[in-house]
Structure 1
Amino acid sequence: MSVWDSIIGQKPVVDMLSHVASGDPKQITQSWLICGPPGSGRSNMARAFAAALESPDHGLGEEMTRVSSQVLAGTHPDVTVLATDKVTIGIDEVRDLITVSEQMPSTAPWRIIIIEDVDRMLERTTNVLLKEIEEPAEHCIWLLCAPSAQDVLPTIRSRTRIVNLAVPSAQAVAEFLEADTGVDAHIARRAARLAEGHIGIARMYATDERAMSDRDELVSGVLRLSRASDAVLLAGDLIDNAKAQAETDAERRLGRAEAEFRRVNGLGEKDRIPPKLRGAYNDAVGKKDDTKRFVTRRTRDVLDRALNSIASVYRDVAVLQNNAEDSVGLVNLENRTAITELSARLSRSAVVSRLDEVSTARRRLAGNGNPTLVFEALFCALMP
């Protein structure tokens, strides 16, 4: 198994980064910005690149070394990853990273810092990072990840080497799902098609029946919209489902954190947490405020995914109106009859207008708009 095996549909980038990792260390760029749409695997790419940089075989071997396995597992002492479930990355977190970046690596050639979702930094936080990106410590490499270069302040992107990832093909994602999850080919192909190149969402659809059924109900609800009451009911159901999924994810996250804490400290499943470990337990499992922020972030992620599903309906309508199904296919193939009827009822300009409404809803959510009001307004605007 190679360090690059988890990277789907990105061969040109893999070839380039593999060549860099195996080249002259003195010529390696020390600040990188890895860009790709959600689900393209930019975080996985950063980890694989870090593994290739740190491994004695530079990731060229057919089997992973102990070093590369540690990097990919998140346990290597010289590779630090900042991933957040919060709405924004805090300034104190970045200051801590800068302190780490200035330390010499303990066992590997490089001290590597990976920041996922660098676009979640506020401007003042980014300014703290700027000097380190411009003049990294001699043995430090920064790998920043963002949806696109435009999502990052010009001062940061002008001081990094930008790598752009493609959207993986549905076929590549389906093949990965079959190998990774063991689902049958039909489920893998459908999950890959509905995810529109988003590997993480495709895996979720392939393995979580509720997530798939929630999406099916949302698309069917959008296609049935005819009255304001439909819009209100559909918005309410969507918000309730998003919150329920976020709370379930939070419970699973807490459960995993508690189980790991108990394992590390030799405690049984029902053993009481000793008073002397209570502080460490709270830090490991997280406080109520941390859980609340996680639920807020996860709810937004679910609603953002819902907007993608809604947009896919009007994308499919446009495909039919332009006789392009043979060349690009439909995302919502199961709803082809209803989408065909809608394509006959809407003009081309009306379809574009509805896609604009989805974009408007996305901006309102990003601006902390009330989710219920945002989706009620959106669904009312989508009615034929």
Structure 2
Amino acid sequence: MSVWDSLVGQKPVVDMFSRIAQGDPSQITQSWLICGPPGSGRSNMARAFAAALESPDHGMSAEPTRVTQQVLAGTHPDVTVLTTNKVTIGIDQVRDIIATSEQMPATAPWRIIIIEDVDRMLERTTNVLLKEIEEPSERCIWLLCAPSAQDVLPTIRSRCRVVNLAVPSTAAVADFLVSNTGAEPKIAQRAARLSEGHIGIARLYATNERVMSDRDELIVGVLNLARASDAVLLAGNLIDNAKGQAEADANEWAGKQEAEFRRINGLAEGERIPPKLRGAFNQVAKKDDVKRYSTRRTRDVLDRALNSVASIYRDVAVLQNNAEDSVGLINLENRTAITELSVRLNRAGAVARLDEVAHARKRLAGNGNPLLTFEALFCALIP
């Protein structure tokens, strides 16, 4: 299959990037801003475009070339990806990536720099990047990724060609899950619907029974809120589940880092680390790095929880406006309880609760205490 086949529901952008990759190199834009909602595949799109630009076949062969495989695996010497497990991208990371961008490509036509989550940069960090984006080195292409153009400073935005990705349809995501994870069609369809077009979350729901179960419990808990004590208990359970998921993910990540170190250095699992490698080994998945990874994953889980809570009141609004036939419900399994809630709340009440979810999201973004934030949110949601 071609390098583009793993991208879901983005045919117009795929067609454009494919044409550009096969076109006149002297006419290519060197600074891009690829925008799309979480889960739309913006970083995967950047990697696919990079592979198409670097590979002799422009990513179109049924069998991917060695260059394509290297780019997608993150091992190509001329394609550098800046990502972070931290809350923000540091200024030193950006300075290092700028130094890399000024080098001529070693084996491929272009030196390509991909920055995931460029919106995680603080303003002073973004200012360091500005000049390179405005006047890239002769053989360098910048591919920046963000949820939306509005999440990036105007000074950066105005110097890039902006590409907007769509939210993939439920049917497209379900088909992708069936073909790529082996999920049963019914499970894939449900995971795609509940993910609201977020491919990564859809994959998680389709392959991780615990995550799906935690979501089901959260939806039922919100729909059954009646007293402040219910809100406190539900918030506590949610935070505990989030920490549990994050710690499991962090330990898995640390294990993969150690396994990769052993593979590169020809060490078997459990084999003693030679003295000359101990210093390097101690830098792999350090305790602080694991803690930062766990913190970010906790935030991801809580953000996903907020999306799930918001979907309840989205469904309430759909029923109140007789729009189910045109846009459908997300939480079909809870249709009876949501129908009852749509009668108990007026339209202003449903909108007010969506505002409460947005307010909770702002509190978390501002490093508010997660437990207190969700206790306050769930109290505000009681009918």
Q: TM-score, normalised by structure 1?
A: 0.99
Structure 2 counterpart of 1:321: 320
Match of 1:289, SS? helix
1:98-147 per-position Cα deviation (integer Å, ceiling 9, x unaligned): 01000010110000000000000001110000000000000000000000
Distance 1:196 1:21 in 2: 31
Map of 1:236-255 to 2, 5 A cutoff?
Answer: 236-255=236-255
Q: CA shift at 1:266, angstroms?
A: 1.9
Structure 2 counterpart of 1:4: 4
Map of 1:40-55 to 2, 5 A cutoff?
Answer: 40-55=40-55
Structure 1 counterpart of 2:332: 333
Corresponding position: 1:364 with 2:363: yes
Structure 1 counterpart of 2:15: 15
Structure 2 counterpart of 1:143: 143
Structure 2 counterpart of 1:307: 306
Single out whichever of 140-149 and 317-326 deviates more from structure 2: 317-326
8 Å CA contact retained: 2:258, 2:285: no
Structure 2 counterpart of 1:63: 63
Distance 2:192 2:199 in 1: 8
Structure 2 counterpart of 1:114: 114
Structure 2 counterpart of 1:199: 199
Distance 1:292 1:260 in 2: 20
Corresponding position: 1:101 with 2:98: no
Distance 1:378 1:43 in 2: 32
Distance 1:250 1:43 in 2: 21
Match of 2:7, SS? coil
Distance 1:185 1:232 in 2: 37
1:61-99 per-position Cα deviation (integer Å, ceiling 9, x unaligned): 333222111111111110000111110001111111001
Distance 2:12 2:263 in 1: 42
Q: CA shift at 1:268, angstroms?
A: 2.1
Q: TM-score, normalised by structure 2?
A: 0.99
Distance 1:47 1:53 in 2: 10
1:142-165 per-position Cα deviation (integer Å, ceiling 9, x unaligned): 000000000000000000000000
Q: CA shift at 1:60, angstroms?
A: 2.9
Distance 1:98 1:181 in 2: 37
Q: CA shift at 1:267, angstroms?
A: 1.7
Q: CA shift at 1:59, angstroms?
A: 2.0
Single out whichever of 67-76 and 297-306 deviates more from structure 2: 67-76
Q: CA shift at 1:290, angstroms?
A: 1.2
Structure 2 counterpart of 1:169: 169
Match of 1:269, SS? coil
Amino acid at match of 1:299: T
Distance 1:60 1:242 in 2: 41
Distance 2:141 2:89 in 1: 20
8 Å CA contact retained: 2:33, 2:149: yes
Match of 1:266, SS? coil
Amino acid at match of 2:6: S
Unaligned runs of at least 5 residues, structure 1:
none
Distance 1:382 1:10 in 2: 36
Match of 2:159, SS? coil
Structure 2 counterpart of 1:24: 24
Distance 1:69 1:270 in 2: 29
Amino acid at match of 1:8: V
Q: CA shift at 1:288, angstroms?
A: 1.3
Single out whichever of 335-344 and 285-294 deviates more from structure 2: 285-294
Match of 2:162, SS? strand
Distance 2:287 2:62 in 1: 45
Question: What is the identity percentage for the equivalent residue pairs of Structure 1 and Structure 2?
Answer: 80
Unaligned runs of at least 5 residues, structure 2:
none
Amino acid at match of 2:225: L
1:19-62 per-position Cα deviation (integer Å, ceiling 9, x unaligned): 11111111100000000000000000000000010011222333
Match of 1:330, SS? coil
